[in-house]
Structure 1
């Protein structure tokens, strides 16, 4: 089982992303409602893959990425955000994110990224 974290303050967004995951992908999903919870789960070894929203209370996705970068990021981070501005996409990649997916997430958008990085066969 691959441990993954879905970090988003919106319950609806967490549910939609969960439904977009491949149904036969062997994963153990944990949820975070803000950046601090996402980091706690990461530090507990529960985030081999981290799906990260950018706009969250308490600690933003940008702050999470910056913290992970300083802690020797050892997770595949895929940013999932409604902020699709080119500047946001460039910034998250500079901070170590592998990919950027616009909300709402669809299986068609997610699957090629998972395959590209060897996360799903």
Structure 2
């Protein structure tokens, strides 16, 4: 059964690049969202066992998504993918429940390493 993956970024190009960086052997069903509001709707529809989440987006940013997931006790592996590599950003997303932080542009080996570390079947 494919793993439901949610790729959230307001940039269509960034979403495409991330999808191409996913391990080719990973059996996934990919859903895309262009902002945090769409991301939460997709999550609530069961489309995000693993979520790749940008921080800077319109309507609801990545921090807002993480805060909502935390407040509602929702469960998902969230990997933040952002160009904002400031230590405070990294610390804040960890406190909000993200399992990892990946700098853009994404490195396929780093994605695979994180997924394996958390026992995601590839």
Give 1:68-107 correspondences, 5 Å limit.
68-107=69-108
Q: What TM-score do the two structures reach when normalised by structure 1?
A: 0.98
1:40 aligns with 2:41: yes
Shift of 1:52: 0.3
Shift of 1:78: 0.3
Measure the CA separation in 2 of the matches of 1:83 and 1:117: 23
Give 1:1-121 correspondences, 5 Å limit.
1-121=2-122
Q: How big is the alpha-carbon RMSD for the aligned residues of Structure 1 and Structure 2?
A: 0.7
Q: What TM-score do the two structures reach when normalised by structure 2?
A: 0.97
Measure the CA separation in 1 of the matches of 2:23 and 2:34: 22
Q: Deviations over 1:42-71 (max 9, x none)?
A: 000100001000000000000000000011
Deviation >4 Å, runs of 4+ = none
Shift of 1:114: 0.5
Shift of 1:10: 0.4
Shift of 1:117: 0.4
Measure the CA separation in 1 of the matches of 2:22 and 2:96: 24
Measure the CA separation in 2 of the matches of 1:118 and 1:89: 22
